[in-house]
Structure 1
Amino acid sequence: MDDLQLLRQLGAETPPATPETLSPARNRLMAAATPAPTTIRRPTRRSWRGVLGGVAAAGVAAAVTSVLVLAPDQFGGDAPAARADATQVLRSAATAALQVPDATPRADQFIYRRTQDGPSIHESWLSVDGTRDGLVRESAAGKRTETPVPGCRDGRAALVKGGEVLPGRTEPCTPEPAYRPDMPTDATAMRAYLATHGSGEPGSVNAAGKDVMYFAESYLRPASRAALYEAAAAVPGLRTVENVTDGAGRSGIGIAWPSTRGEGDIVLVFDAETYAFLGTSGTSSVQALTVVDKAGQTG
Structure 2
Amino acid sequence: MDEMRLLRRLGQEVPPATPEQLAAPRDRLLAAMTAPSAPPMTARRSARRGWRVVLGGVAAAGVAAAVASVVVLAPDPIGGGVPAARADASQVLRHAAAAALRTPDVTPGPDQFIYSRSQEGQATRESWLSVDGTRNGLVREGEGGDGMEAVIPGCRNGRAAMVKGGRVVPGRTEPCSPRPAYRPDLPVDATAMRAYLVEHASGVPGSVNSIGKDVLQLAGGYLRPQSRAALYEAAAAVPGLRAVENVRDGAGRSGIGIAWPSTNGSGEIVLVFHPETYAFLGVSETSAVLVLAVVDEVDQTA
TM-score (norm 2): 0.72
Displacement of 1:260 in angstroms is 3.2
Partner of residue 244 from structure 1, selected from 224, 232, 247 = 247
Matching residue of 1:153: 156
> Would you say how many aligned residue pairs link Structure 1 and Structure 2?
238
Q: Larger deviation: 145-154 or 271-280?
A: 145-154
Q: Check conservation: 2:105, 2:225, Cα contact below 8 A.
A: yes
Quick one: distance in 2 between partners of 1:142 and 1:128? Answer: 26
- Paired position in structure 2 for 1:162: 165
Query: Residues 254 and 268 of structure 1 are in contact (CA less than 8 Å); yes or no, is this contact kept in structure 2?
Result: yes
SS at match of 1:253: strand
- Indicate whether 1:259 and 2:262 are aligned: yes
Judging by fraction of residues, say which structure has more helix. 1
Q: Pick from 95, 98, 104: which aligns with 1:92?
A: 95
Q: Is 1:83–1:239's contact at 8 Å kept on the other side of the alignment?
A: no
Q: 1:141 to 1:148 in 2, by over 3 A?
A: closer
- In structure 2, distance between residues paired with 1:88 and 1:245: 19
Partners of 1:188 and 1:163 in 2: CA distance:
42
* Matches of 1:29 and 1:157, distance apart in 2: 39
1:28 aligned residue: 28
1:132 Cα deviation from its structure 2 partner? 0.6
- Is the alpha carbon distance of 1:27 and 1:181 closer, same or farther for their aligned partners in structure 2, counting shifts above 3 Å? farther
CA RMSD of aligned residues (A): 3.0
1:1-299 residue pairs with structure 2 within 5 A? 28=28, 30=30, 60=63, 85-140=88-143, 143-299=146-302
Compared with structure 1, are the counterparts of its residues 293 and 159 closer, same or farther at alpha carbon in structure 2 (3 Å cutoff)? same
TM-score, length of structure 1 as denominator length: 0.73
Distance 1:188 1:237 in 2: 19
Q: In 1, Cα distance between the equivalents of 2:27 and 2:251?
A: 35
Distance (whole Å) between structure 2 residues aligned to residue 186 and residue 141 of structure 1: 42
1:290 Cα deviation after fit: 2.7
- Relative to 1, partners in 2 of residues 1:239 and 1:82: Cα closer, same or farther, differing over 3 Å? farther
In structure 2, what residue type is equivalent to 1:109? Q
Q: Structure 2 vs 1, CA of residues 276 and 62 (structure 1 numbering), >3 Å: closer, same or farther?
A: farther
* Aligned-pair identity (%): 72
Unaligned runs of 5+ in 2: 1-23, 35-61, 69-83
Amino acid at match of 1:192: A
Task: Go from structure 1 to structure 2 and tell me whether the alpha carbon gap of 1:63 and 1:160 turns closer, same or farther (over 3 Å shift).
Answer: closer
Alpha-carbon offset, residue 26 of structure 1 = 9.4
- In structure 2, distance between residues paired with 1:141 and 1:290: 20
Kept after mapping to 2: 8 A contact 1:244/1:251: yes
Q: Which secondary structure does the structure 2 equivalent of 1:116 belong to?
A: strand
Please state how far the C-alpha of 1:95 moved relative to its aligned partner: 0.6
Q: Distance in 2 between matches of 1:217 and 1:237?
A: 22
* Larger relative contact order (CA 8 Å, sep ≥ 6): 2
Pair 128,251 (structure 1): closer, same or farther in 2 beyond 3 Å:
same
| Structure 1 gap ranges (5+) | 1-23, 35-58, 66-80
Name the counterpart of 2:15.
none
- Post-superposition offset of 1:189: 0.5
